[in-house]
């Protein structure tokens, strides 16, 4: 049976090399298409970045690869719409792509549910006002945020320059002892290479934006957690047979 292709619409350029790294670990076919806009972490710009027209463009770029599922690989460009708006966003993307679709924001929710996690700490790279919208999104989906930190980084390009050591320091400094997991919600941040160290250091699951986005795509492509590829190098989310959260 041929391995299905999973499509990802990624904004601009920052940490998209996390995808081929994960593809190698999983033996998966992960196809990334880029759309462009300002990479500023500000609400008006994020609403434009995740607009129907831009996502249709991404779906068109992926169409020649015949993906089995498509994921909008942007957290802030999805949760900024709020839960209802984000659902409409992925509904429109699914219609444009002709296959099941999701976004990184819902990927975080589904990954937490699959792990049985209901209380988290959030270590965000965004400015405070944007980070709080992610907290609101999670709360609306039944996930309790025990603590939230915002690094106040204005652009995705700057986030993409953070080293593994800097990411690890951010995570350690902004965990909460009572949180069941730490969430790091920016697809512009390189995290795939450092996931094992993050979880070993914190002693708990760590969910990062590119990690959950890839997991969500695999799930949508027809691989429920009990049958999905396993790779300990991608953290707890990819190292256990998990609860099937359905669609």
The CATH number for 189's domain is: 3.40.50.12500
Distances (CA, A) of 186 to 1, 67, 75, 112, 178: 34, 24, 6, 16, 23
What pLDDT digit, counting tens, does each position of 209-235 carry?
999 999 999 999 886 555 556 677 899
Is the CB of residue 125 less than 8 Å from the CB of residue 188?
yes
Asked if residue 20 is part of any domain, the answer here is yes
Asked if residue 174 is part of any domain, the answer here is yes
What pLDDT digit, counting tens, does each position of 140-197 carry?
999 999 999 999 998 888 999 999 999 999 999 999 999 999 999 999 999 999 999 9
Q: How many domains does the chain have?
A: 2
Contacts of 199 (CB under 8 A, 6+ apart): 205, 206, 235, 236
177 in the same domain as 63: no
Per-residue pLDDT, 1: 46
Asked if residue 238 is part of any domain, the answer here is no
Residue 10 structural domain: 5-107+210-230
221 in the same domain as 102: yes
Asked if residue 170 is part of any domain, the answer here is yes
Give the C-alpha separation, 225 to 72, whole Å: 20
What pLDDT digit, counting tens, does each position of 93-133 carry?
999 999 999 999 999 999 999 999 999 999 999 999 999 99
86 in the same domain as 171: no
166 in the same domain as 95: no
140 in the same domain as 51: no
Contacts of 124 (CB under 8 A, 6+ apart): 130, 131, 134, 148, 149, 150, 151, 184, 185, 186
């Amino acid at each position: 049976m041929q391995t299905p292709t999973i499509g990802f619409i990624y904004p601009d350029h920052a940490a998209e090399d996390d995808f081929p790294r994960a593809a190698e670990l999983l033996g998966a076919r992960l196809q990334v298409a880029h759309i462009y806009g300002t990479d500023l972490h500000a609400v008006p710009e994020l609403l434009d970045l995740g607009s129907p027209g831009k996502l249709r463009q991404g779906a068109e770029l992926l169409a020649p690869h015949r993906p089995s599922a498509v994921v909008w690989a942007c957290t802030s460009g999805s949760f900024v719409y709020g839960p209802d708006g984000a659902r409409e966003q992925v509904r429109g993307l699914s219609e444009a792509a002709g296959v099941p679709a999701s976004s990184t924001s819902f990927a975080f929710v589904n990954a937490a549910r699959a792990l049985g996690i209901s209380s988290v700490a959030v270590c965000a790279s965004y400015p405070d006002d944007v980070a709080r919208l992610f907290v609101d999104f999670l709360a609306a989906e039944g996930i309790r945020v025990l603590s939230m930190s915002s690094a106040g980084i204005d652009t995705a390009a700057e986030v993409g320059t953070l080293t593994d050591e800097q990411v690890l320091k951010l995570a350690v400094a902004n965990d909460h002892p009572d949180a069941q997991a730490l969430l790091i919600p920016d697809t512009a941040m390189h995290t795939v290479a450092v996931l094992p160290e993050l979880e070993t250091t914190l002693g708990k699951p760590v969910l990062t934006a590119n990690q959950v986005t890839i997991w969500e795509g695999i799930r949508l492509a027809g691989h429920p957690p009990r049958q999905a590829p396993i790779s300990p190098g991608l953290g707890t989310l990819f190292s256990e047979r998990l609860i099937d959260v359905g669609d």
